[in-house]
Chain A
């Protein structure tokens, strides 16, 4: 019999250490400028890490310049995207092309556990921060590099956007309608996914660093992170490897069983009536003729005819009920149908309110806003300690921590270093 209560390589201490947030002993230097890197380090910051954003003087993170903004008026301190992605972080401005700027970055890196960057491949090398030197000077450093296509390979230097990465990496070819062009996912979701995967990778390498004292370089290719998604793409790649066939667009996974958004009296509802729930749907609709038709077990192998019979009853029923009514009725019949909420309906829904999911915090420029709360709940977990930093808000504070005398700052500022 195997050992009970096994010890892993991390378990060296006696236990009982005091912790306020699980990652409060982790230091991260964040050079990233766009959604994937920002979201990667946000996860660490929200769970307690000290994340120092190194931003370009007077410009800062790209997400500061990409809205939405109040009244659609661009303001680098009021970008909803930046405010959301950079909670709990500190900001220092540094000109990485200047000698003093490089010197300060080295100082930050030498005391860091993790360095995250999302420049074009080879940029860090030309700035004077090649991996060999980073590793030599801080052997425990985890160095996470996020790029579109990875740090090598024929497409390394190619250009990409969220849309084009999703086109190549995501399940886009099979998303949308059969007679129209492929459709991307809304918002910035795919870029968040790349950041999510980068965070998972960084956490894994951090455990190695903390447990074994060895740092390493992590190469996150946005393309490969999306190809590795369980949202259909991995399944379809496996399927194509098995059958040689590509996934179609505009068909449900199983055509008889209704999935997707359907109109109802006051909006839309979302169906995911997999086979196991089909009988429940028939009972919910309560049409005796339809129930009789589907008593023939072979009906599921005539999907087109059977679906047409179903739709004759389904659509009129939906249009005579509201989304709230349908969700309640479906739940009572154990059928997976839910309301399609707008962002505002979600914010105000009793469910998320009662769970206390949203959390307000005041920002000196943007004011008090409610932010999405914990992505998951655990001991020593998520906390909103401070809002996103203003550009360079902690420059002095951080330089002081590095041992710079306050009198040295005006010169650094005058020379455009900070």
Chain B
């Protein structure tokens, strides 16, 4: 077995919500020591949950995510038990310091001096106000790789605009193509695709910069404009808009430009099956599977173009057939005919799936205040290295003593002073 590629790499993590933490999660999997720098003076909303203090009754009224704690109990420290944080917190450490005061700033700069990478995805002004920009940090550590995941980049008329993933999805052109077939974007529901696209790409960027540093000896700042990274996933529509001047992608919902596909009901309530028919042979196999019903013999349905033109009619018939069967039964029947079909999985079904169990995708992990639970696992497998899977998400300030004393060399009395001054804390103020 090889050593993990980021063994010996220390990452200072000042990320919030999903995109940045997703990036540092991947770096941690690869052996980096990821240290979240947090501030007990400010509760980071939508990162460690929705509120720093919550009763069980209040939590229940905050919807699915708002109450996503073990046994739906927020406990004394809800921010240490939140699914939205604990899902991506594996392998990471947490230290707290108040960066707006001199002793907190000094500790932070000491940490930067002994680190390799600094990842942050706050609103740009946050680090600007703290005067913790690359120019300052480079003086402390010229080998530092700093990643600023500013959604709209660090220049341009909108670059300071405030927003979350969906806001930038909208500017990217993604939202205008979203929604049910022929419906408008208000039907689209939620989408945080910018975050999904950013996490692995930013991890790639960090590795590329480490590779560059190994050759050049120098660190650098990476300007990771998350919105532009997202737009890479829309490239074909950008070219189409030029090849066919002014043409915009149609709102296809679950349909496809060329293939018959859709999402159909099953015998079970709120359970669905997705199906794509890729060619005439697959269509014929589907018709045979359904028992050669007379409606399916219509010559209009024999070609791909005909099936798309008459999809409303086909969908009605298909839905009537699928609605009599259970999702698992449809999955097996359609796959047995070599058709691309899959049930739409609620989380509980994924958690119990035999294929994922055999591949060991979900794995138990212990979080200090949440206990031991199955967690979503590594995104891929490697034959030659053991990806890191050490501990659950860190509680707020869980590693204060380690960071201040072992890493930064604070004496016991210096560390106590940081506690007394409210820098090193394990609860929000």
Contact = CB atoms under 8 A, between A and B. Distances in A.
Interface stretch (B215-223, B293-301, B413-421): B215-223
B114 A6 contact: yes
Size range of the chain A interface in the assembly? 35 or more
B354 interface: yes
Interface stretch (A92-100, A101-109, A351-359, A389-397): A351-359
A50 to B, nearest CB: 16
A164 B218 contact: no
Nearest to A263: B186
Contacts of A32: none
A201 B67 CA distance: 33
Interface residues of B, number: 187
B426 interface: no
Given A84-B236, A199-B204, A254-B62, A243 B379 contact: no
Given A207-B210, A224-B361, A246-B346, A376 B241 contact: no
Interface string B164-180: 11111111111111111
Contacts of B158: 349, 351
Contacts, number: 604
A173 B344 contact: yes
Given A204-B30, A224-B380, A232-B192, A343 B237 contact: yes
B195 A164 contact: no
Interface string B143-185: 1000000001101111111111111111111111111100011
Nearest to A154: B355
Given A175-B190, A342-B176, A254 B65 contact: yes
B76 interface: no
Contacts of A235: 18, 65, 68, 83-84, 87
B204 A370 contact: no
Nearest to A83: B239
Contacts of A131: 383
Greatest chain A CB density within 10 A among B66, B199, B242 is at B242
Contacts of A354: 155-157
A187 B272 contact: no
Interface string A155-166: 100111111111
A239 B68 contact: yes
B216 A181 contact: no
A260 B241 CA distance: 25
B201 A375 contact: yes
A276 to B, nearest CB: 5
Given A338-B168, A371-B238, A230 B381 contact: no
A268 B187 CA distance: 12
B380 A252 contact: no
Nearest to B196: A231
Nearest to B62: A254
Nearest to B371: A242
Given A14-B217, A80-B243, A242-B69, 12 more contacts: A9-B7, A67-B258, A80-B235, A164-B276, A173-B344, A224-B361, A237-B350, A272-B163, A338-B167, A355-B153, A371-B238, A376-B202
28 contacts: A2-B114, A8-B6, A13-B217, A22-B212, A67-B236, A155-B355, A163-B256, A163-B275, A173-B344, A183-B254, A184-B254, A184-B263, A192-B197, A204-B382, A218-B382, A227-B379, A228-B378, A236-B347, A239-B68, A241-B362, A268-B170, A337-B167, A343-B234, A372-B228, A372-B235, A376-B223, A377-B153, A380-B216
